[in-house]
Amino acid sequence: MDKPGGPATSATQTARVEGLTLGLILGCYALWAMALFLLAGLSVPLAVVLLGVVIAFHSSLSHEAIHGHPFASARLNALLMAPALALVVPYARFRDTHLAHHRDEHLTDPYDDPESNYLAPARWSALSRPVRALLRVNNTLAGRLLLGPVIGTLFWLRGDVAAIRAGDRQVIAGWLAHLPALASVLGLVGASTMPLGAYALAVYLGLSLLGIRTFLEHRAHEKARARTVIIEDRGPLAWLFLNNNLHVVHHMHPAVPWYHLPALYHANRADYLRRNAAYRYSSYAQVFRLHLLRPKDPVPHPL
């Protein structure tokens, strides 16, 4: 299997274009423009809702691009997904941290997994009681929806600011590439009838929707293969997340495009569930029912 984002090994791979994914990307930008320049003039609240969904969907499409879709060329994929619809997430930083996250032996490790939702016990012990209480609330699904965008963004920025101060060239380059992408999006928002504050609310909504997906994608477990979830959902959220709810399938086959994941899972369902020690939910409705107000995990890593 080709390494995601790696160089093409043949003329056929170089010329490969996945039409379905490309069509979704172009449609995503078209919906974004329609909400911004047409719907916002009719109803700002409706535009906020549509833009929130589009921003979340753009993140799912960016995830596909990171793994080599719709083009075999990582550079073309980066150019296609460069517009910073969510404002605070540079594509290059998302790419670098996400590919580091795919080292499955490090999954959930608060030191080595950049997408871990756990804290190291020593760091947890050093926090004040109010901050601990806030993070405990954030470990419920309701808290993740309401507080997660702020907490996640602050943790994200804190880490990158520290890396920039330490002279990390890769992080600096990622943010420098983000600036023109950010300026272009803000320029278009400014040219539309959408108030900037309303667009910021749409970004918050988009990040909140993404929090549903990331809430329990991984768990602490002694075996790395048992750390990744399966949510057997086929509803709107599965579409919004481009089947990334079948997360263990994606981690085992990261170069497989989103539209092949369901068939791959259902053809080998027992094997995947055996591999991840039955870390499974039947639907996102079950996730809401079990964890809306009840934490799934402790904040400090239990292992």
Band of residue 83 on the pLDDT scale cut at 50, 70, 90: very high
> Is residue 156 one of the residues assigned to a domain?
yes
Helix 19-34 to helix 44-66 angle, to the nearest 10 degrees?
150
Paired with 230 in beta bridges are: 280
Neighbouring residues of 264: CB distance < 8 A, sequence distance ≥ 6:
249, 253, 256
Number of domains within the chain = 1
Residue 296's pLDDT is: 87
User: Per-residue pLDDT averaged across 199-208, rounded?
Assistant: 98
Instruction: Label residue 67 exposed, middle or buried (CB < 10 Å: 0-12, 13-18, 19+).
Output: buried
> Is residue 277 one of the residues assigned to a domain?
no
Does residue 197 surpass a pLDDT of 60?
Answer: yes
d(CA 246, CA 112): 23
d(CA 77, CA 25): 11
> Is residue 115 one of the residues assigned to a domain?
yes
Does residue 301 surpass a pLDDT of 60?
Answer: yes
Residue 176's pLDDT is: 97
User: Per-residue pLDDT averaged across 138-159, rounded?
Assistant: 95
User: Per-residue pLDDT averaged across 184-192, rounded?
Assistant: 97
- Strands (E) in the chain, as ranges, are 230-231, 280-281
User: Per-residue pLDDT averaged across 205-210, rounded?
Assistant: 98
In sign, the C-alpha dihedral spanning 252, 255, 256, 257 is positive
User: Per-residue pLDDT averaged across 129-155, rounded?
Assistant: 96
> Is residue 263 one of the residues assigned to a domain?
no
Residue 15's pLDDT is: 58
Looking at every residue in the chain, the average pLDDT score rounds to 94
Could you read off the pLDDT of 165-184 as tens digits, one per residue? Answer: 999 999 999 999 999 999 99
Residue 295's pLDDT is: 93
Neighbouring residues of 152: CB distance < 8 A, sequence distance ≥ 6:
207, 211
Residue 16's pLDDT is: 77
Could you read off the pLDDT of 225-274 as tens digits, one per residue? Answer: 999 999 999 999 999 999 999 999 999 999 999 999 999 999 999 999 99
Tokens 């959902």: give the residue. Answer: 233
Instruction: Provide the terminal-to-terminal Cα distance of the chain, rounded to the nearest Å.
Output: 32
Residue 158's pLDDT is: 93
Region of residue 50 (left: phi > 0; alpha: psi -120 to 50; beta: else): alpha
User: Per-residue pLDDT averaged across 83-107, rounded?
Assistant: 96
Residue 1's pLDDT is: 36
Does residue 9 surpass a pLDDT of 90?
Answer: no
Residue 8's pLDDT is: 38
> Is residue 260 one of the residues assigned to a domain?
no
> Is residue 31 one of the residues assigned to a domain?
yes
Rg, C-alpha atoms of the chain: 19
What b/e sequence results for 278-289 when a residue is b if at least 16 CB atoms lie within 10 Å of its CB, and e otherwise? ebebebbeebee
In one letter, which amino acid is 111?
A: Y
Rounded percentage of the chain residues whose pLDDT exceeds 70: 95
d(CA 83, CA 193): 19
In one letter, which amino acid is 59?
A: S
Counting DSSP H helices and E strands in the chain, the numbers are: 17, 2
Could you read off the pLDDT of 119-135 as tens digits, one per residue? Answer: 999 999 999 999 999 99
Show the domain range for 87. Answer: 16-218
pTM here is 0.93
Paired with 281 in beta bridges are: 231
The mean-pLDDT minimum among 2-16, 66-80, 236-250 falls in 2-16
Does residue 13 surpass a pLDDT of 90?
Answer: no
> Is residue 272 one of the residues assigned to a domain?
no
Does residue 112 surpass a pLDDT of 50?
Answer: yes
Asked if residues 244 and 209 have their Cβ atoms less than 8 Å apart, the reply is: no
Asked if residues 256 and 270 have their Cβ atoms less than 8 Å apart, the reply is: no
> Is residue 294 one of the residues assigned to a domain?
no
